[in-house]
A and B are shown apart, each in its own frame.
Chain A
Amino acid sequence: MAISDVQEYCHLTEADVEAIGRELDALRERVERSRGAKDAAYIRRVIRAQRWMAASARIGMIVAAPLDKRYRRPLQAASAVSLGLAKILENMEIGHNVMHGQWDWMNDPEIHSSTWEWDTGQPAEQWKHSHNYIHHQFTNVLGYDNDIGYGVLRMAREQRWTPANLGQPVYNALLATLFQWGVALHDLDLDAIRHGKKDPEEMRRQLAQIVRKGRHQLVKDYVLYPALTGPRWKETIRANVAANLMRNVWAYLIIFCGHFPDGALHFTEDELEDETRAEWYLRQILGTANFEGGPLLHLMSGNLGYQIEHHLFPDLVSNRYAEIAPEVRALCEKYELPYTTGPLHRQYGQVLRTIHKLTLPNRMTKDDRPPTGEGVTIEQHQRVRHEDTHQRRTELGAWSRAAGRSRA
């Protein structure tokens, strides 16, 4: 089910909603005021560690090349793992958060949202549109947020079922293993392309940028570095495939656990009308899910185990999410709001169950999400009617649309 009235769903008065907003504002202001040298040292330390891991992996593969098989294989395997971890750290804790502008306050031109280009197929510029704007502004709103299934999976019961959904388990496995390329195509808005609503000129510009970035990634991992290992180039390619696969599956897992466990809700566009800051906070809490784990797990997942805190304050430094999480949770308990969390394996188990259930039409399965009151949700038949008349938002898949007049 999808929520069309968050306030009513939560049984909160307007005064409650505003009080929640004030408490969250105070939390945010406190972290902003105390942000400083210790935080800057943290991100610089993470970047330094990531670069050493990447460099030692690349050097390890070169050094391993002339060695005897006995020594070469373990060194190559260790290098592949080190490279995979470096890519994970770069994408999750560094790239994602730097591009949100979390570290802009440091005034370091290198660690800045305008200059960071990350080690993955999607150009940073398109990511900042599809993720920072579309996903964070329209979080879990059906028909708006392309993260709901990435344009290939049916992740909500309100999304129309078609026989093509029977292949979801296969699409899901492909999405996980090829995740960087799925993300690379994310801002194209595959739904718009399927329905012939995509401006071809816009698509051409986006594709050209994706091809340029993709070519750079492919040359680096599958031509340049393998060439440096001479006759062992095939083994280096295999190691780099393994590293990319590690990163792809991990990034997919973390991202899907942030929005698709049972407690994370979907919304209709009614909820966007005249939304205040406090209502926006509320929608972020309801639309996201955390997972539990130790500091290393949170570091390697870009602190997205604190997905609720990240969605409340996407431009607040990620190393402070752990500190504010207990307070956000206490606030949710005080107002009897759901604070969805659990161990990573349980959260992903629920995601997998949803993916598999939604391969079938709704009449053949039961909804696992929490029940809601009368009149605060929309049902499948209403959604279908809505989709028939719905004009897709022009912002979707329009990263390069600085020329509004051309689309009129």
Chain B
Amino acid sequence: MVARRGPQPGVTTASALFAWEGAPDGVPSRRLVTRCALARVCGACGRPLGHPIAFVGTSDEVARNAFHLPPLHDGCVDAVRALPAPVPLTVVRTAGFEFVRPGSGDADPLPRFVPNSLL
């Protein structure tokens, strides 16, 4: 039986999470972030997203309403917040989001998520 990747009790390493697979520096893989956005799966467990959708981000990301970490299940938020991070991460919940690919002139070179119906 093949175990599904996802948050395991007591596991707080990035490599245990779906979108962080093969990302040694603790940053989610860009390829998998795109996959989470389009296939609408959770960045932590890799299973289909539910309703509502959760995003975690820094206070700056919350203020800009643009998040870099992939969408999550409500129940998977804690696994991501438990990862080592330089600043505390805040959770926002939304029904939907826009996925924005980076443009060449963008100050932000990473793909980002813009929640469009905050709850």
**Residues of A that sit less than 8 Å from B by CB:** 14, 18, 21-22, 25, 32, 99, 101, 103-109, 112-115, 125, 128-129, 132-133, 136-137, 201, 205, 276-278, 280, 315, 395, 399, 401-406
> Could you tell me if B116 and A32 are in contact, using CB atoms closer than 8 angstroms?
yes
> Could you tell me if A403 and B4 are in contact, using CB atoms closer than 8 angstroms?
yes
Binding site secondary structure of chain B = loop
Given contacts A115-B51, A278-B103, contact A406 B3 (CB under 8 A): yes
Residues of A within 8 A of B22 (CB): 404
Given contacts A104-B97, A315-B99, contact A404 B39 (CB under 8 A): no
Which segment of B41-49, B57-65, B78-86 sits at the interface? B41-49
**A201→B103 CA distance, assembly (Å):** 39
Residues of A within 8 A of B102 (CB): 276-277
Instruction: Determine the residue in chain A with the shortest Cβ distance to B44.
Output: A402
Residues of B within 8 A of A128 (CB): 38-41, 48
> Could you tell me if A113 and B49 are in contact, using CB atoms closer than 8 angstroms?
yes
Classify chain B: how many residues form its interface, as a range: 35 or more
B2 shortest CB reach to chain A, Å: 4
Residues of B within 8 A of A101 (CB): 40, 96-97
Residues of A within 8 A of B103 (CB): 18, 21-22, 25, 276-278
Given contacts A25-B103, A402-B5, A402-B45, contact A107 B119 (CB under 8 A): yes
B15 shortest CB reach to chain A, Å: 9
Residues of B within 8 A of A402 (CB): 4-6, 18, 41, 45-47
8 Å CB contacts to A: which residues of B50-106?
50-51, 53, 95-105
Instruction: Determine the residue in chain A with the shortest Cβ distance to B36.
Output: A133
Residues of B within 8 A of A406 (CB): 2-3
Q: Which of A105, A112, A278 contacts B116 (CB 8 A)?
A: A105
**A276→B18 CA distance, assembly (Å):** 24
Residues of B within 8 A of A14 (CB): 104
27 example contacts (A-B, Cβ-Cβ < 8 A) are as follows: A32-B98, A101-B40, A101-B96, A104-B95, A107-B96, A107-B117, A108-B95, A112-B96, A114-B48, A114-B50, A114-B53, A128-B40, A129-B41, A132-B38, A132-B40, A133-B35, A137-B34, A276-B103, A276-B104, A277-B100, A277-B103, A401-B46, A402-B4, A402-B6, A403-B2, A403-B3, A404-B21
Given contacts A104-B95, A278-B103, contact A137 B3 (CB under 8 A): no
**A406→B38 CA distance, assembly (Å):** 23
**Residues of B that sit less than 8 Å from A by CB:** 2-6, 18, 21-22, 31, 34-35, 38-41, 45-51, 53, 95-105, 116-117, 119
> Could you tell me if B5 and A276 are in contact, using CB atoms closer than 8 angstroms?
no
**A276→B100 CA distance, assembly (Å):** 11
B99 shortest CB reach to chain A, Å: 7
Residues of A within 8 A of B95 (CB): 104-108, 112
Q: Which of B49, B98, B105 contacts A315 (CB 8 A)?
A: B98
The 9 closest A-B pairs by CB, nearest first: A104-B96, A402-B46, A107-B95, A133-B39, A277-B101, A133-B38, A406-B2, A105-B96, A276-B104
Instruction: Determine the residue in chain B with the shortest Cβ distance to A404.
Output: B21
Binding site secondary structure of chain A = helix
**A277→B98 CA distance, assembly (Å):** 14
Residues of A within 8 A of B21 (CB): 404-405
Q: Which of A21, A125, A137, A404 contacts B48 (CB 8 A)?
A: A125
Given contacts A277-B101, A278-B104, contact A132 B2 (CB under 8 A): no
**A125→B49 CA distance, assembly (Å):** 10
**A399→B5 CA distance, assembly (Å):** 13
> Could you tell me if B39 and A132 are in contact, using CB atoms closer than 8 angstroms?
yes
A24 shortest CB reach to chain B, Å: 10
A128-B41, A133-B35, A137-B38 given; 8 more Cβ-contact pairs under 8 Å: A32-B98, A104-B117, A114-B49, A128-B40, A201-B2, A276-B104, A401-B46, A405-B5
B115 shortest CB reach to chain A, Å: 9
Instruction: Determine the residue in chain B with the shortest Cβ distance to A115.
Output: B51
**A133→B32 CA distance, assembly (Å):** 10
A212 shortest CB reach to chain B, Å: 15
Residues of A within 8 A of B49 (CB): 113-114
Of B4, B21, B46, B104, most A-chain CB atoms within 10 Å: B104
Of B22, B39, B46, B97, most A-chain CB atoms within 10 Å: B39
Instruction: Determine the residue in chain B with the shortest Cβ distance to A99.
Output: B40
**A72→B48 CA distance, assembly (Å):** 45
Residues of A within 8 A of B98 (CB): 32, 315
B98 shortest CB reach to chain A, Å: 7
> Could you tell me if A114 and B99 are in contact, using CB atoms closer than 8 angstroms?
no
Q: Which of A32, A114, A405 contacts B40 (CB 8 A)?
A: A114
Residues of A within 8 A of B48 (CB): 114, 125, 128
> Could you tell me if A136 and B51 are in contact, using CB atoms closer than 8 angstroms?
no
